A and B are shown apart, each in its own frame.
Chain A
Amino acid sequence: MAHIEVENLRRTFQIAVRNPGLSGAIRGVFRRQSEEKVALDCISFQVEKGELCGFIGPNGAGKSTTIKILSGILVPTSGRCEVAGLTPWKHRIKHVQHIGAVFGQRTQLWWDLPVTDSFDLLRDIYSVPQEVYKQRRDNLIDILDLTSFLATPVRQLSLGQRMRCDIAAALLHGPSLLFLDEPTIGLDAVSKLAVRSFVRQINQDLGVTVILTTHDMDDIEALCRRILVVSDGRILVDGSFEDLRRRASAGRRLTIDMVKAATLDLNGLPGVQITTTNAGRCVLSFDPIVITPAELIREVTARVEVADLFVENAPIEEIIANLYAGGSQ
């Protein structure tokens, strides 16, 4: 059986509608209007044990709502959802024993307490036997490199330090499923890399199923074998990184640095467009099926004097943006 099974999950919110301006506000006093906003529109998916899944989507797409429902915090309007055979919101207490979560924008550590005290408290809350706890904690401290600030109150930690502690805190009770809601938000490059390599490690070494949401495409590219693109409460794409690329566009880029700034003549080059030009640099987008990169380069070098050039895939951000735009139409 799959670790997570979701079927036709739907969640709507009632939102009060306010008319703009003073007259609207006065009308609102006498007549309340509310409308139903659909946060999740009948989504279905399955996640196997040990998978590392990335959820991406624009703000308000329903990523966090999904995670909140899966972790038992939020009750859906309708639909079925089972995590390891339990329905999260019905068997909350039993269910949360086996999951860990990090919500990047808030901390689960006790603000005023040193990190170690928070860890000890979590040991008691989850009733982890002392031996197991000690081994697990020391291991986490070691991998995440927490030793130097274990005695510091949480409020005095930097964001990167805090995030590492939060991730450790989510794993102290040995969950089989870990939710990471924007774990790299606001982190510097070094901390991001540390978090990524750690997430990969626990997924591979401990077999923890990881569900990750992020806006950072590098997170996704570095970590996830499987990606779910969510937009407007629906799943647009469910597949690998390559699937996503193939599906969104097959477009490539050719960046040309010219010796002298010149206007590139594109006559007789089918499907080639100039994306940007800036002084001596010109970026062309083309479809490799219509015109092969070799042919295009031959043509270009024949027409202008080229100092340097390179071919690359369209950036993932752009693919995603196209998908979002398509999804909301």
Chain B
Amino acid sequence: MKPYSALLRMRFIALLQYRTAAAAGLATQLFWGLIRVMIFEAFYSASPNRQAIPMNHAQLVSYVWLGQALLGLLPWSIDREMREKIRTGGVAYDLLRPMDLYFQWYFQAIATRTAPTLLKSIPLFVVAGCFFGLKPPTSAPALVAWLGMTVLALLMNCAFSCLISISMMWTISGEGISRLAPPVVYAFSGMMVPLPLMPAFMQPLLNALPFRNMVDVPFRIYSGQIPATLHHVIPAALHTTAWTAALLLSGRLMMQCGLRKLVVQGG
């Protein structure tokens, strides 16, 4: 395990160097958050029957701010470094390590998602909590369940982003998938519009897909809209874990095929 955790640690060290990027990201996310809160504000106040909306306004505001704070955990793009590595043949050095290639990439994905998010989310929680209506979790169990679900979501997100990276073993450029994946992840996870506000006919689909567990479920547990009881949390956790396992397995299978046909580019 040590080699993998070392990889994680180093990526952390490297990514934490980019303080300016984190500050700029923080400003962007604050700005976006404000706009989104205002848009929903307009919808809510224009709605003739406010009671019928399946999510109250306070919950919605928390949902939006959580989304802004934890945006970086979403697998909505191919890691830049990964792309470069596959395009230029840096993969060669990955293969020279006495480690499983899939888990090298997986741990790298975890680090790439976690490090910058940690750096940005803490100040964002503070600012949004003090000034813009982000409420603390409704109860201690809600806090624990939210944290747990966020960790599970992270593990699933990384399995998903690995799958995308591995697809580059065939496409090499990754241009297509990196345009296709973000809107899908955005829409189906609830990052764009909270899923309870989506039409009823879409709910079965949204429930089956893995994306809901990335955003919607943990956020609603946080704000108490999904009660933090075992009855609710366990099925959600199982759903996430099952999808993680499926993504992980298919990623590994794909990688095995990919390695057989791999051509490391360049002399």
Contacts and interface: CB of A to CB of B under 8 A. Distances in A.
B92 interface: yes
Interface in B78-129: 88-90, 92-93, 95-100
B199 interface: no
A110 interface: yes
A293 B45 CA distance: 104
Nearest to B100: A93
Contacts of B98: 93-94, 96-97, 125-126
Interface string A93-116: 110110101010110101011000
Contacts of A72: 95-96
A45 interface: no
B262 A106 contact: no
Contacts of B89: 106
B96 A99 contact: yes
B265 to A, nearest CB: 11
A73 B14 contact: no
Interface stretch (B3-11, B182-190, B203-211): B3-11
A105 B260 contact: no
Given A74-B262, A75-B260, A121-B6, A108 B96 contact: yes
Contacts of B7: 121, 125
B52 interface: no
A125 B99 contact: yes
A106 B97 contact: no
A112 B16 CA distance: 11
B217 to A, nearest CB: 35
A113 B6 contact: no
Interface residues of A, number: 32
Interface residues of B, number: 27
Contacts of A96: 95-98
A59 interface: yes
Nearest to A111: B14
Nearest to A179: B96
Contact of B263 (A59, A74, A127): A74
A103 B89 CA distance: 11
Interface in B35-82: none
A124 B6 contact: yes
B2 A127 contact: yes
Interface in A68-83: 68, 71-75
17 contacts: A13-B263, A71-B96, A74-B262, A75-B262, A96-B95, A97-B98, A103-B92, A106-B88, A106-B89, A106-B92, A110-B14, A112-B17, A120-B6, A124-B3, A124-B6, A126-B97, A126-B98
Given A96-B97, A106-B88, A125-B97, 16 more contacts: A59-B267, A68-B92, A71-B95, A73-B96, A75-B262, A93-B100, A94-B98, A96-B96, A101-B93, A103-B93, A106-B93, A106-B266, A112-B14, A112-B17, A124-B6, A126-B3
